[in-house]
Amino acid sequence: MADLTSSFCSAQPRLHIRSLNRTNGTLRSRCCKVRCVAAPAQEVTTGVKRNENIGKLQAGYLFPEIGRRRRAHQEKNPDAKIISLGIGDTTEPVPKSIADAMQKAAAGLATLEGYSGYGAEQGRGEVRQAICDRFYSHVGRKANEIFVSDGSKCDIGRLQMMFGASTSVAVQDPSYPVYVDSSVIMGMTDGYDESSKGFGKLEYMVCRPENDFFPDLSNARRTDLIFFCNPNNPTGAAATRKQLEELVAFARKNGSIIIYDAAYAIYISDPERPQSIFEIPGAEECALETCSFSKYAGFTGVRLGWTVVPEQLRYSDGFPVINDFNRIMTTVFNGASVVAQAGGFACLQDEGFKEMQELVAFYKENAAILRTTFKELGFSVYGGEDAPYVWVGFPGKPSWDVFAEILERCNIVTTPGSGFGPAGEGFVRASAFGHREDILEAVERFKKEFGGR
Amino acid sequence: MADLTSSFCSAQPRLHIRSLNRTNGTLRSRCCKVRCVAAPAQEVTTGVKRNENIGKLQAGYLFPEIGRRRRAHQEKNPDAKIISLGIGDTTEPVPKSIADAMQKAAAGLATLEGYSGYGAEQGRGEVRQAICDRFYSHVGRKANEIFVSDGSKCDIGRLQMMFGASTSVAVQDPSYPVYVDSSVIMGMTDGYDESSKGFGKLEYMVCRPENDFFPDLSNARRTDLIFFCNPNNPTGAAATRKQLEELVAFARKNGSIIIYDAAYAIYISDPERPQSIFEIPGAEECALETCSFSKYAGFTGVRLGWTVVPEQLRYSDGFPVINDFNRIMTTVFNGASVVAQAGGFACLQDEGFKEMQELVAFYKENAAILRTTFKELGFSVYGGEDAPYVWVGFPGKPSWDVFAEILERCNIVTTPGSGFGPAGEGFVRASAFGHREDILEAVERFKKEFGGR
């Protein structure tokens, strides 16, 4: 492989040329001809050093990688009718009153009365108030603490930018990959360690069946930030009130901030398992909460979420975290789409809220079907009761192998547990987001292929 | 002012209590009572250190500050009919065929056929292709180099996260505040220097009437990144082809990357002033371009933009910048709203494109009206020909004073030039985004108040 570096020409001393043709090793002429040929034979580099933090990342983001493998399987098996229990993507139509509200907002944009330009970066006042009334008033939060956004994934990126590279980070292991990846990108970690399958400096709080999927806090290192997804993606575990009290006490003792991801909280039925971290007294001084309409109302494509930052949450110098989050939201964000916000507002009215709950109930039935099937097949099954994810154990087998085997034998896409962290090894995640007929068909295929094992 | 720090209680040694009541200096009891009172008398801090980079920022983001002053003026003068030529926010309805497409997409979400969940984080293929066909095919760019997003402001934040704290940055002075503020937040600058009114390490490339609003590159320091907004916000100056060739040669010589913000490019009429940086040969090896539907189709509230990263753009080690941007977009972004994307697609069809051009022409007429008025009143006037902004000089007067005077005398909101950087001092920006009757009314007020000066 050629890797030639030289001056571009004397007048441009900082431009370097490398041979582009790295696959066959040939060298092309390396002077100014590069400007004239149709297919450039050589590559001109800038003098900008690549961000070494991004360079620490190992592979692409998990779900595009799964998509790539799915496409490869489809190409190899053009007739296969692939069913996806992979990425947690909603499949059912948006409830009518909610879609109607968006339709009306979109139509209104063509009229003088209905047109709106920039809204407040923090979201429309009525939307913030409605979110507060539905989910947070009873736990003492206020509308001005709620920031409406284009989704939790994006808010997590903005939170990372706010906290900055000097903070230390803990994550549940396994957990939603964005916490780790964004921490790596922002420079909160060291490089990847092949032996531990993790990034240096990052605290991985192992969550496995042995500890009821709740971290052993007596052995956890103190960090500035603790990402805590509840119910957890991917394990589907929802913490009990007692566990969350323990978490809050741990954060308060250590002066940590919990970034509580409640994206699936509406899937919790058990009253002994809180939906919001703010149900725990004292959490307002050590936690903020992100959430989203994506899995509540099928808004994965519409894009709408929110983050709650209590006024009482303070940095070590007493400065309110909410002030900095407001600065981030006004500086590198410009408000969620007015059409999406109209939809969000409708979700929180009586009719929309009822429709939304019915939608959630539908996916919960899917989860129950999957959970029952895996149980009947004799697998170790977790989650799926207070969450739309079922976490299935294949002890001793690498997750990607299990993923490949299920794809090969059943034409079903799952998500390999190791994609969520080293402690996810030996598991796959099955998502309950799917049309009922697909879930039932998937169940039949599982029974056929794994029934006799 | 009391600033008391103590242990919260012995069981929580890392929690500190400060007196919240900083305004009147009184101290309240400082033990566990904080948990029981309705209005907390004391503040519990975490141990998380505030991001010192955000701490370098001086004031709030410019436009919320202007909004604050506007509201204060309105409160003082409840009967005043304030006209805003301040923030560049579109006011005219979205053209019909474009709003129709969004309406249809929103309605479709309630149906099985029209529903869509997560799209590709990079945008829908047809939208990327349509953007490419309309704006970039003729300059050699390809659809896979185009990333659809929720707007340029947000993309700038993501670009800063991608390039990271180790890069050095240059900005036009004056320019859109987000370049500077996001650089400060990401740690690319030192602190604010009161004497120069700028941030340390940041290269301010002065653009004033004396240099035709184009930086003196012979005296500019080399930086990794060069933010270049063209036509410029706020000065309204659009660079000539020769000037952009000079900029590209400068970047290539230095191995810099130009972040070219083309948010207002459609306002350029003069064929000798390029709309895209990629019209300049060689730019694909030293530039990326951000753009937006906000000022093209009145999408400030709808939220849709894009960024073009040429495959040829490389870091110093030869690694393609596009690969890292793709990683950022898939990690901390989740695609633009499907409804907004349907609208963007409609903007690029023949009917929508024509409607969009008519909308732009309308705002350009507004700009011409403002420009003519200020000229007739004897002011030094710039911009407003190839841009929706008119830049008016008030030599020797502080911008915020001019802003206050115009608000006081005319009930008109402008934007103080110094809000865009130190070289904006002595100017105010008037935005051409407004209803025609408001522009005409504003013009009358200006004539009445400043006609006899």
- Interface confidence (ipTM) of the complex: 0.91
Q: Is omega for the bond preceding A177 within 30 degrees of 0, making it cis?
A: no
Distance CA B16, CA A317 (A): 10
Q: Is A160 on the interface with B (CB under 8 A)?
A: yes
Question: How, if at all, do strands A380-383 and A389-393 pair?
Answer: antiparallel
Residues of B in contact with A337 (CB under 8 A): 150, 301-303, 337, 339-340
Confidence (pLDDT) at B42: 67
- My answer on whether B273 and B372 are in the same domain is no
**Residue A87 pLDDT grade (very low, low, confident, very high; cuts 50, 70, 90):** confident
B252-282 pLDDT per residue, tens: 999 999 999 999 999 999 999 999 999 999 9
CB contact under 8 A, A14 and B225: no
- My answer on whether A314 and A407 are in the same domain is no
Q: Is omega for the bond preceding A174 within 30 degrees of 0, making it cis?
A: yes
Residue A333 has pLDDT above 60, yes or no: yes
Q: Is B70 on the interface with A (CB under 8 A)?
A: no
pLDDT, mean of residues B80-98: 95
- My answer on whether A190 and A314 are in the same domain is yes
Q: Is omega for the bond preceding B231 within 30 degrees of 0, making it cis?
A: yes
Residues of B in contact with A99 (CB under 8 A): 106-107, 109-110
- What is the CB neighbour count within 10 angstroms for residue A313? 24
Distance CA B360, CA B142 (A): 26
Q: Is omega for the bond preceding A398 within 30 degrees of 0, making it cis?
A: no
Residues of A in contact with B110 (CB under 8 A): 93-96, 98-100
**Residue B16 pLDDT grade (very low, low, confident, very high; cuts 50, 70, 90):** very low
pTM: 0.91
More confident residue, B38 or B324: B324
Confidence (pLDDT) at B166: 97
Closest residue in A to B55 (Cα–Cα): A324
Report residue B451: phi and psi, to 5°. Answer: -65, -35
Closest CA to A264 of A284, A301, A239: A239
Taking a contact as any Cβ pair under 8 Å apart, which residues of chain A between 404 and 423 contact chain B? none
A43-71 pLDDT per residue, tens: 799 999 999 999 999 876 788 889 999 99
- Tell me, yes or no, whether B147 lies in a domain: yes
- Tell me, yes or no, whether B53 lies in a domain: no
- Tell me, yes or no, whether A158 lies in a domain: yes
- Tell me, yes or no, whether A55 lies in a domain: no
Question: How, if at all, do strands B427-431 and B415-416 pair?
Answer: antiparallel
Residue B445 has pLDDT above 60, yes or no: yes
Distance CA B210, CA B443 (A): 27
Residue B87 has pLDDT above 90, yes or no: no
Long-range contacts of B72-81 (CB under 8 A, 24+ apart): B73/B407, B73/B408, B73/B411, B77/B411, B80/B411, B81/B411
CB contact under 8 A, B161 and A156: no
Residue B33 has pLDDT above 60, yes or no: no
CB contact under 8 A, A161 and B164: no
Q: How far is residue B105 from each of residues A92, A436, B97, B408, measured CA to CA in Å?
A: 15, 24, 12, 45
- My answer on whether B129 and B63 are in the same domain is no
Taking a contact as any Cβ pair under 8 Å apart, which residues of chain A between 347 and 406 contact chain B? none
Residues of B in contact with A333 (CB under 8 A): 153-154, 157
Closest residue in B to A168 (Cα–Cα): B48
CB contact under 8 A, B337 and A337: yes
Q: Is B327 on the interface with A (CB under 8 A)?
A: yes
CB contact under 8 A, B93 and A106: no
- Tell me, yes or no, whether B12 lies in a domain: yes
Distance CA B417, CA B429 (A): 6
- What is the CB neighbour count within 10 angstroms for residue B60? 17
Residues of B in contact with A115 (CB under 8 A): 91-94, 298, 301
Residues of A in contact with B154 (CB under 8 A): 332-334
CB contact under 8 A, A115 and B106: no
Confidence (pLDDT) at B41: 52
CB contact under 8 A, B167 and A48: yes
Encode chain A in three state secondary structure. Answer: CCCCCEECCCCCCCCEEEECCCCCCCCCCCCHHHHCCCCCCEEEECCCCCCHHHHHCCCCCHHHHHHHHHHHHHHHCCCCCCEECCCCCCCCCCCHHHHHHHHHHHHHCCCCCCCCCCCCCCCCHHHHHHHHHHHHHHHCCCHHHEEEECCHHHHHHHHHHHHCCCCCEEEEECCCHHHHHHHHHHCCCCCEECCCCEECCCEEEECCHHHCCCCCHHHCCCCCEEEEECCCCCCCCCCCHHHHHHHHHHHHHHCCEEEEECCCHHHCCCCCCCCCHHHCCCHHHCEEEEEECHHHHCCCCCCCEEEECCCCCECCCCCEHHHHHHHHHHHCCCCCCHHHHHHHHHHCCHHHHHHHHHHHHHHHHHHHHHHHHHHHCCCEEEECCCCCEEEEECCCCCHHHHHHHHHHHHCEECEEHHHHCHHHCCEEEEECCCCHHHHHHHHHHHHHHHCCC
Residues of A in contact with B64 (CB under 8 A): 121, 330
Residue A22 has pLDDT above 60, yes or no: no
Residue type, B32: C
pLDDT, mean of residues B171-180: 97
CB contact under 8 A, B18 and A318: yes
Closest residue in A to B60 (Cα–Cα): A327
- My answer on whether B210 and B306 are in the same domain is yes
- My answer on whether A261 and A317 are in the same domain is yes
Residue A210 has pLDDT above 60, yes or no: yes
Q: By the 8 A CB rule, do B281 and A34 touch?
A: no
B323-380 pLDDT per residue, tens: 999 999 999 999 999 999 999 999 999 999 999 999 999 999 999 999 999 999 999 9
Mutate which of A37, A161, A415 to disrupt the B interface (most B C-beta within 10 Å)? A161
Closest CA to B297 of B309, B285, B286, B305: B305
Domain boundary pick from B349, B367, B387: B349
- My answer on whether A40 and A187 are in the same domain is no
Residues of B in contact with A223 (CB under 8 A): none
Q: How far is residue A436 from each of residues A293, A368, A370, A450, B340, measured CA to CA in Å?
A: 21, 12, 11, 21, 29
Distance CA A374, CA A427 (A): 13
- What is the CB neighbour count within 10 angstroms for residue B76? 9
- My answer on whether B255 and B238 are in the same domain is yes
Distance CA B375, CA B384 (A): 11
- Tell me, yes or no, whether A319 lies in a domain: yes
Confidence (pLDDT) at A64: 82
| Average predicted confidence (pLDDT) for chain A | 91
CB contact under 8 A, A160 and B118: no
User: What is the number of structural domains in chain B?
Assistant: 3
Confidence (pLDDT) at A244: 98
Confidence (pLDDT) at B15: 40
- Tell me, yes or no, whether A54 lies in a domain: no
Residue A16 has pLDDT above 60, yes or no: no
Show Cβ contacts of residue B28 under 8 Å, excluding neighbours closer than 6 positions: B19, B20, B21, B41, B42
Q: Is B344 on the interface with A (CB under 8 A)?
A: no
Closest residue in B to A321 (Cα–Cα): B50
pLDDT, mean of residues A314-318: 98
Residue A220 has pLDDT above 50, yes or no: yes
Q: Is A86 on the interface with B (CB under 8 A)?
A: no
- What is the CB neighbour count within 10 angstroms for residue A279? 16
Residue type, A114: G
Closest CA to A226 of A202, A256, A253, A254: A256
- My answer on whether B76 and B132 are in the same domain is no
User: Residue length, chain A?
Assistant: 453
- Tell me, yes or no, whether B390 lies in a domain: yes
A222-243 pLDDT per residue, tens: 999 999 999 999 999 999 999 9
Closest residue in B to A434 (Cα–Cα): B117
CB contact under 8 A, A161 and B161: yes
Q: Is A10 on the interface with B (CB under 8 A)?
A: no
Mutate which of B339, B341, B435 to disrupt the A interface (most A C-beta within 10 Å)? B339
Distance CA A223, CA A385 (A): 31
Residue A3 has pLDDT above 90, yes or no: no
The pLDDT > 90 percentage for chain A reads 87
Confidence (pLDDT) at A453: 58
Residues of A in contact with B339 (CB under 8 A): 102, 106, 302, 337, 339-340
CB contact under 8 A, B331 and A61: yes
CB contact under 8 A, A337 and B334: no
Q: Is B10 on the interface with A (CB under 8 A)?
A: no
Closest residue in B to A223 (Cα–Cα): B48
Q: How far is residue B69 from each of residues A57, A325, B62, B85, B320, measured CA to CA in Å?
A: 45, 22, 11, 14, 45
Q: Is B105 on the interface with A (CB under 8 A)?
A: yes
Q: Is B447 on the interface with A (CB under 8 A)?
A: no
Taking a contact as any Cβ pair under 8 Å apart, which residues of chain B between 210 and 249 contact chain A? 224-225
CB contact under 8 A, A334 and B61: no
Domain boundary pick from A282, A317, A351: A351
pLDDT, mean of residues A94-115: 98
Residues of B in contact with A100 (CB under 8 A): 107, 110
**Rounded to a whole number, what is the distance in Å from the CA of A446 to chain B's nearest CA?**
25
Show Cβ contacts of residue B245 under 8 Å, excluding neighbours closer than 6 positions: B280
- Nearest beta carbon to residue B93 from set A96, A112, A156: A112
- My answer on whether B73 and B135 are in the same domain is no
CB contact under 8 A, A301 and B16: no
Domain boundary pick from B315, B349, B383: B349
CB contact under 8 A, A61 and B327: yes
- My answer on whether B324 and B312 are in the same domain is yes
Closest residue in A to B321 (Cα–Cα): A50
Q: Is B124 on the interface with A (CB under 8 A)?
A: no
A420-438 pLDDT per residue, tens: 999 999 999 999 999 999 9
- My answer on whether B76 and B140 are in the same domain is no
Confidence (pLDDT) at B19: 33
Confidence (pLDDT) at B63: 83
Confidence (pLDDT) at A28: 36
Residues of B in contact with A256 (CB under 8 A): 46-48
Q: In CATH, what number is assigned to the domain containing residue A345?
A: 3.40.640.10
Q: Domain of B167?
A: 96-349
Residues of A in contact with B118 (CB under 8 A): 87, 89, 300-301
